[in-house]
A and B are shown apart, each in its own frame.
Chain A
Amino acid sequence: MKKNGFWHRAFDLYYDGFRSMTLGKVLWAVILIKLFIIFVVLKVFFFPNFLKENAEEGAESEYVATELIQRSTNLNTY
């Protein structure tokens, strides 16, 4: 990689930038903790894809159609 080349300079920008961070280190720590909570804890344990769990693969439209039609039917026969 040439020292004056674009990729070297781009790498250098990020490398030096991350190394010399002060406040940035705290912020990155907060971001990483937050991302862990959001993607690992919340997404996996609390926010499953409802249709994937309840409808057969490829039959999601059938499931939604049944839901929407029956809700209307039940509503109108109440």
Chain B
Amino acid sequence: MEFLYNLDDSMIEWSRAQFALTAIYHWLFVPLTLGLAVIMGIAETCYYRTKKPFWKDVAKFWQKLFGVNFAMGVATGIILEFEFGTNWSNYSWFVGDIFGAPLAVEGIVAFFMESTFVAVMFFGWKKVSAGFHLAATWLTGLGATISAWWILVANAWMQCPVGCAFNPDTMRNEMVSFAEVALSPFAIDKFCHTVISAWIIGAVFVVAVCCWYLLKGREQKLAVESLKIAAIVGLVASVGAALTGHQSAARVAEVQPMKLAAMEALYNGGTDQSLTGIALINPFAQPDYENEAEAPLKIAVPYALSILATNDPHGYVAGINDILNGYTKPDGTVELSVDEKIERGKKAIAALAAYRQAKFASSDDGSTAAAQLQVLQENMPYFGYGYIRDKSEVVPFVPINFYAFRVMVGVGCLLILFFMVVLFFLYKKDITAAPKWLHWTAIVMVPLAYVASECGWLVAEFGRQPWTIQDMLPTWASVSNLQSASVIVTFFIFLVLFTTMLAVEINILLKQIKKGPES
């Protein structure tokens, strides 16, 4: 992509890969922290209500594993912010004010709330009352969840920029409504779906550890009682994830229809759309969506996509070609074709250049700047399209979205079934005498649940390509004018560092699991 101001083409891909690597690694710790927080909170609540020392041991055991994971996850997210400043400097400047507020709140909350209550939770068993300790345990989890809220607010803004206005003098998007940014419906849906899916990870982890104890014939009481908590949390969270996932899909259909079309490999949309169960899509190449009517060997559930996207079996869902060529929404509004958006985007950028030139020229009396500012404001919603050369560039890579979505949903359904089976054995049979395949399945479900969780992020992030900020800035305008060599070096440093840290964490976790509770 030499045409891009001598920008090193591989710089874009390496920067993306590095960001993805860091985010995927960070996301290994976060969901387990959020999920274990719920389990340990419930266990300690049982202790608070019954005053039985057994429950204290249970709570302390899960808190210990929570502590290991928490310690390993500390500061892994900071690296993402470093990457913003170095690799994505245009983007960072462009969004600075919008990102600044949520991230500052997150930093303050995370530091003060979590550091205070984590300390009380670990050090305070003999120092504070049982009630205060219980509150500290729940507040530790709440602090982590609130942190997640602010990070997800920032992420949601990139997917659906609201509550902001672009200032051509400072070249930044400036917040005009904190409430609109912090409480955007997109952020709320994302938060609910993400946090609930994190509870599943915590539940699956606890079920797996308990089943391992049952396989080894030890810690049976702890295992059975913890299983009761984890299986219920897991089932409720799995069903909740399905419901919030539906809500998220409806929101995506509204604000990022291209992402939904890519997830579904829906080339040509319409009403009464069926949801693809499976289809034969080459995982390594973009499908020929312009010429194919639909993905080959498609097996689909009638009307289900229309229901998913619009809550109406006859609802209209736009396909890739509809979005590229423009379409009329059911409410009568016309969605412009991508070619028209490209023209508007070019106008916006040209107006920005002319505005800045007029603004800083002593000869202008202000009228030229004012006129150009108006053109810019009229076309600002399409600003990012000014960087699009060909309309095909706004189509995300379909195979990744298609398969990642199916893995996420497939494993999610499997988890619902799995937790139901565990509960059946817990309440209708004897889980300690359950067949070994169930216990081994529980252990296998841990990596599967993680894969599903990461797939959720793949859909969220690959699905919005090429945009770093939806419709405003594509990746190739966001990236710094660096040479890729430096990014490649840090990519491999991270790879080694993260792999080492992960090995250390898994090693410490396994040792603590083998050691068991300290009674």
Q: Identify the A interface with B (CB < 8 A).
A: 9, 12-14, 16-18, 23-24, 26-28, 30-31, 34-35, 37-39, 42-43, 46-51, 54, 60-61, 64-65, 67-78
**Is B170 in the interface zone, CB < 8 Å from A?**
yes
| Residues of B with C-beta under 8 A to A42 | 79, 82, 490, 493
Q: Enumerate chain B residues within 8 angstroms of A61, measured Cβ to Cβ.
A: 93, 169-172
CB pair A46 B489 closer than 8 Å? yes
The CA of A38 and the CA of B3, in the complex, are separated in Å by: 35
Contact between B489 and A67, CB atoms less than 8 A apart:
no
With known contacts A31-B74, A61-B172, A67-B5, A13–B486 Cβ distance under 8 A: no
A50 touches B85 (CB 8 A): yes
B4: which of A12, A13, A69, A74 is its contact (CB, 8 Å)? A74
- Bound complex: CA A47 to CA B489 (Å): 11
A72 → chain B closest CB, angstroms: 4
B191 to chain A, nearest CB (A): 26
With beta carbons under 8 angstroms apart, the residue of A16, A47, A77 that contacts B83 is: A47
Residues of chain A contacted by B102 (CB below 8 angstroms): none
Closest A residue, CB atoms, query B2: A78
Q: Are A69 and B489 in contact (CB under 8 A)?
A: no
The reply to whether A75 and B389 contact each other, CB–CB distance below 8 Å, is yes
A-B contact count (CB 8 A): 135
Least CB distance from A48 to B in Å reads 6
Chain A residues, Cβ within 8 Å of B387: 71-72, 75
Q: How far is the CB of B360 from chain A (nearest CB, A)?
A: 9
Q: Is chain B's binding surface mostly helix, strand, loop or mixed? A: helix
- Residue on B with the closest CB to A67? B90
B349 A72 Cβ-Cβ under 8 A: yes
Contact A78 B389 (CB under 8 A): yes
Separation in Å of the A36 CB from the closest CB of chain B?
Answer: 11
The answer to whether B82 and A43 have CB atoms under 8 Å apart is yes
Chain A residues near B476 (CB-CB < 8 A): 71
Say how far A56's CB is from chain B's closest CB, in angstroms.
14
A30-B501, A47-B86, A50-B85 provided; 4 other pairs, C-beta below 8 A? A37-B497, A42-B490, A71-B7, A74-B3
Indicate if the CB atoms of A68 and B86 lie closer than 8 Å.
no
> Per a CB cutoff under 8 Å, which of A16, A46, A65, A74 touches B5?
A74
Give A50 Cβ to nearest chain B Cβ, in Å.
4
Question: How many angstroms between the C-alpha atoms of A59 and B515 in the bound complex?
Answer: 58
Chain A positions within 8 Å of B482 at CB level: 50
B352 at the interface (CB under 8 A from A): yes
A13 touches B123 (CB 8 A): yes
Residues of A within 8 A of B398 (CB): none
Query: How many angstroms from the CA of A18 to the CA of B83 in the assembled complex?
Result: 33
Provide the residues of chain B in CB contact with A26, threshold 8 Å. 508
Asked if residues B171 and A34 are in contact (CB atoms below 8 Å), the reply is: no
Contact of A12 among B74, B75, B127, B346 (CB under 8 A): B127
For the complex of A and B, the 4 pairs showing the least CB-CB separation, nearest first, are: A17-B123, A78-B3, A50-B89, A47-B82
Task: Check if A17 sits within 8 Å of B122, measured CB to CB.
Answer: yes
A-B contacts, 16 of them at CB < 8 A, read A9-B127, A13-B124, A14-B123, A17-B124, A23-B508, A28-B71, A35-B75, A37-B497, A39-B78, A46-B86, A49-B86, A51-B85, A60-B93, A61-B170, A64-B93, A67-B5
User: Which chain A residues border B122 with CB–CB below 8 Å?
Assistant: 17, 24
CB < 8 Å: which of B3, B94, B480, B481 contacts A75?
B3
Q: Check B477 against A71 for contact (C-beta < 8 Å).
A: yes
Q: How far is the CB of B392 from chain A (nearest CB, A)?
A: 15
Checking B75, B119, B477, B481 against A13 with a beta-carbon cut-off of 8 angstroms, the contacting residue is B119
User: Chain A nearest CB: distance from B474 CB in Å?
Assistant: 10
Closest B residue to A35 by beta carbon equals B75
